[in-house]
A and B are shown apart, each in its own frame.
Chain A
C-alpha cells in the first residue's frame, strides 16, 4: 500500500481515538484528505465553519493532497449530504471557479476537484463535462481528481463517451485517480448505475483505467470501497491490481 486517503469530515472532531489513529497512520504513509461536505457549487454561502474545520484538519495532518467535488450540496439552510449535479453552464462554471479560488485562498494551497457521478443531465448545459472541468482548472488553478468509475457511470447513465472525456481533459491537470465499484439498478426497462463504492472495480472500469494512465501518466490511484467492505485480502488484491497497472504505465513513461 503506497498511501492512504481519509474523508476530511471524519476528522473534524476536537479529540479522541479517531484523530489519534490517523495521526499514527500518518507517520507511516503519505496522506490525502478528501472532503465530501463542502458543496463547492452551492449558490448558498460557503459554510465558513465547515471550511475552518477543513483547515484545522489540514494543519493537524499536513496531507500531500486535499480534494473536494464538482457538485453542490446545500440550499435554503438545508444540507442534503449528497454530491448533487451542477448544470454545465457558463454561470455555474464562474460560480464554481470563484468558490474554488475562495477555498484555495483560505486554505493557502491548491485543491483537487473531483468529477462526480450523475443520474441526470440538465437541458441548460452548454458545455460537456470535460470542457467544464478543463475551464475550471483554467479559471481557478485547481487540479483534478479524475474518478474513472464516475466517468463510466455517467457514460451509462447519460450516454457520454469516456475516451472523448479523457482526450478533453488537460494532461497535466490530473493529479489523482479514483477507482470504485458501482451498483447496477434496474429502473423500469433501463439500467442505471449507482456510485455506491460497495463492490469490486468492474472490467470496463479497469480497461478505462488503462486508457486513462496512457493519457495522464502514472497518477497516484485510490480504490474506494467504503460500503459493504470485504475482507482485507480482497481489498489488498484490488489495490495491487491498480499498482500493477501503474507500474506498466511507469515503464511506458520511462
Chain B
C-alpha cells in the first residue's frame, strides 16, 4: 500500500486496513506487515483479529444482497449465491453507508456474468426482484389516484397528446422467460415447483399494494405501453412505441386507472408533437 508521503498516520492506517478487508480467502498471505505491526499482539494473532472484520464486512454485504434477492437465492442455492455475491462485490463494492442499495447494480452485472449460459434468465429474475425493492421505498404520491372519468369528453386530438403522471411505485419488467411464474412459485406460500423455460416470455407490472409488492402479469405490448407512458410519452406516441392496437387501448387504460396507477393527466401544449 503506497500513499503520498504527506498522508497522515490515520489516513495510512485506514487505507491499509481497507486493503486488508478486501483481501479474499483467509487473507493471511496478502496482509501488509505494516498493518500487522500496528495491531497489538497479546498472543492472539493480529491477522486472526483482522479476519473477524473481513468476515463481518463480507457477511454484511452478502446479507444485504440475500434480503433483496430471496427468490434468486432459493433457485440457485445458498452456496452458489454466496459465490455470485463475492464476485459481484469484487466488481461493485458497496458505495454507500446505507446497505439497502448494495443490490442496485446486481441485475445488470448478473446479465453480463450469465450471458450465453442456460442461466441467463436469472438476471431477469433479479431485475424483477429489484423492481420489488424499488416499489417498496418509492415516494407516496401527493395526490389521490384519478378515475377514468377524467378522460370523459376529451376529443381524439386532446387524447392523443395526453401525458400521464403515474404512481411513483410502478416498475415494468419484460422477459423472454417465465419470471412471474418462477417468482410466484417461490414465495413462502408458493408451490416451489420448477418452471419450464418453455412456459415462455412473461411481462410484469410491479406496483405496491397493501404495503407489499404486487406483481401483475400483463400482455407484452401493454407493459411496453405503460413503460412509455411512465417515461412521459404522450398517449399516441406510447401506443406507437408499444405497437399496441388501438382496439386494446381502452382495456389498457381502464386497467391502469382501476389499479390506481394514474395520479395526473396533462394535455400537451397545443401544436406540440410527440
The interface of chain A, by Cβ under 8 A from chain B, is 9-10, 12-18, 20, 36-39, 42-44, 47, 50, 53, 72-82, 84, 86-87, 89, 91-92, 95, 119-124, 158-159, 187-188, 190, 192, 194
Structural contact, B11 and A81, CB atoms closer than 8 A: no
Q: Chain A's nearest CB lies how many Å from the CB of B44?
A: 5
B17 at interface, CB cutoff 8 A: yes
Is there a chain A Cβ closer than 8 Å to B118's Cβ? Answer: no
Chain A contacts for B42, CB-based, 8 A: 159
Assess whether A78 is in contact with B94, with CB atoms less than 8 Å apart.
Answer: yes
Q: Contact flags (1/0) for B104-130 with A, using CB distance below 8 Å? A: 000000000000000000000000000
User: Which residues of A have CB within 8 Å of B53?
Assistant: 80, 82, 84, 119-120
> B40 contacts A121, CB within 8 Å?
yes
List which B48-94 residues lie within 8 A (CB) of chain A. Answer: 48-50, 52-53, 56-57, 60-61, 64, 93-94
Q: What residues of chain A lie closer than 8 Å to B136, measured between beta carbons?
A: 13, 16-18
Out of A14, A42, A47, A81, which one reaches B64, CB within 8 Å? A81
B38 near A124 with CB under 8 A, answer yes
Q: Is the CB of A84 within 8 A of B10?
A: no
A15-B139, A16-B169, A81-B64 are contacts. A53–B49 as well, Cβ < 8 Å?
A: no
The complex places the Cα of A73 from the Cα of B60 at a distance, in Å, of 12
Output the nearest chain A residue to B99 by Cβ-Cβ distance. Answer: A81
New contact pairs (13) apart from A121-B39, A123-B40, CB-CB < 8 Å: A9-B100, A15-B168, A17-B136, A18-B137, A37-B99, A53-B98, A77-B93, A78-B22, A81-B60, A86-B10, A87-B10, A123-B38, A187-B52
Name B207-234 residues within 8 Å CB distance of A: 208, 211-212
Chain B positions within 8 Å of A122 at CB level: 13, 38-40
User: Could you list 25 A-B pairs, sorted by A, with CB under 8 Å?
Assistant: A10-B100, A13-B100, A15-B138, A16-B140, A16-B211, A38-B97, A39-B97, A43-B8, A47-B97, A50-B96, A50-B98, A75-B14, A76-B18, A79-B94, A79-B97, A80-B18, A81-B102, A87-B13, A91-B8, A91-B9, A119-B52, A123-B38, A123-B40, A188-B44, A194-B52
Q: In the complex, what distance in Å separates the CA atom of A107 from the CA atom of B117?
A: 50
A80 to B52, CA, bound (A): 13
Main secondary structure on B side of the interface with A: helix
Chain A positions within 8 Å of B166 at CB level: none
Q: Which residues of B contact A9 (CB under 8 A)?
A: 97-100
Cβ-closest 4 pairs across A and B: A37-B97, A13-B137, A17-B211, A15-B140
Partner of B48, one of A47, A72, A92, A187: A187
Distance, CA A79 to CA B92, complexed state (A): 11
Contact B44 A187, beta carbon cutoff 8 Å: yes
- Write the nearest CB–CB distance from B136 to chain A, whole angstroms: 5
A78 and B47 CA atoms in complex are apart in Å by 21
User: Which residues from chain B contact A43 at a C-beta distance below 8 Å?
Assistant: 8, 10-11, 14
Contact A47 B52 (CB under 8 A): no
Tell whether A188 pairs with B18 under 8 Å between CB atoms, given A43-B10, A80-B57, A81-B94: no
Tell me the smallest distance from the CB of A26 to a CB of chain B, in Å.
16
Query: If A76-B15, A81-B94 touch, does A95 touch B100 (CB 8 Å cutoff)?
Result: no
Select B56's contact among A10, A82, A92, beta carbons within 8 Å. Answer: A82
* Given A50-B96, A79-B96; A16-B39 close (CB under 8 Å): no
Chain A residues with CB under 8 A of B57: 80-82
B:1-39 near A, CB below 8 Å: 8-11, 13-15, 17-18, 21-22, 37-39
Chain B residues closer than 8 Å to A38, beta-carbon distance: 97
Task: Please indicate the chain A residues that have their CB under 8 angstroms from the CB of B37 in the complex.
Answer: 123
| Bound Cα distance from A77 to B44, whole angstroms | 31
Determine the distance from Cα of A190 to Cα of B43 in the docked complex, in whole angstroms: 9
What CA separation (Å) do A17 and B21 show in the bound complex?
35
CA distance in complex: A194, B59 (Å): 14
